[in-house]
Amino acid sequence: MTFKKALSILGIVVIVVSCATNPFTGKKTMAFVSNDQLFPSSFAQYNQVLNESKVITGTKDAEMITRVGQRIAVAAERWLNANGHQGYLEDYKWEYKLIESDQVNAWCMPGGKIAFYTGILPIAQNETGVAAIMGHEVAHALANHGQQRMSSGMLQQLGGIGVAVATGNESPEKQQLWMQAYGLASNVGGMLPFSRAHETEADKIGLYLMAIAGYNPDEAAELWKRMKANSGGQAPPEFLSTHPSNDSRIKNLQSLSSKAKAEAKKFDVTTFRPIN
């Protein structure tokens, strides 16, 4: 089989593969794995993490994580309902946990399972900073980024099989070179830009969600200034990273803040009065 034929087969697979629609952009996205399959797995993994971690309950910080999470979840439902996506969150099982760990990290699994690590709280500094992080992480779940990354990973593997088949008559050394070239090209030219696009998209969606929830979106750029300071400037070049550079991110958040405020004005945010 020729390389061209292998790519043609791969293209047909891409065309017929199941798709989903991102409600925030209206774009079709890859969906090799349905939420019916993804959510139960996500919930099981979340429970495993909780069982293996020290979950903090009953403290002011733990209560803040729950409070912010609930506000972001309600903001998401309000936005989705207002934009014709009623029922989008029907299968979500929201949960918000604070985990004792020095990790500077937070995440939201598909289906609304959220974890914050105590190590990120000093950088968040306050409830509005937590809301900026929470909005971003929830945005990943709402936009089905986990589903898309799984799908793109499967597609990358399928492409690797295509390369292996197309170069089957080559020597083992040449086959290895082809596979290395494919791996580098698919990562730098495909997977990494794909991941950075997700981060930028989640920044925008998260900014809107925090604003609709009653938090000041200006804080998001300030948060990333603190993130940059915490990293000590140690980061790979943007084109080799899964995330946009800190500077790119800060600039983008600053430019979007006024739009997030304008979007929030469409909703009654008086019921979401943050503590600080």
253 close to 129: Cβ distance less than 8 angstroms: no
Within 10 angstroms of residue 259's Cβ, the number of other Cβ atoms is 14
Cα of 40 vs its chain's centroid, Å? 18
At 275, list the tokens: 């503590």
Catalytic residue, from 127, 137, 199, 219: name it: 137
Report the alpha-carbon distance of residue 86 to residue 92 in Å, rounded: 13
223 close to 275: Cβ distance less than 8 angstroms: no
Report the alpha-carbon distance of residue 268 to residue 272 in Å, rounded: 9
Is 100 one of the catalytic residues? no
Q: How far is CA 258 from CA 51, 188, 262, in A?
A: 41, 33, 6
Counting every residue, how long is the chain? 276
18: DSSP letter: -
Report the alpha-carbon distance of residue 191 to residue 156 in Å, rounded: 8
Q: How far is CA 42 from CA 63, 242, 274, in A?
A: 23, 22, 30
Question: Which residues carry out catalysis?
Answer: 137
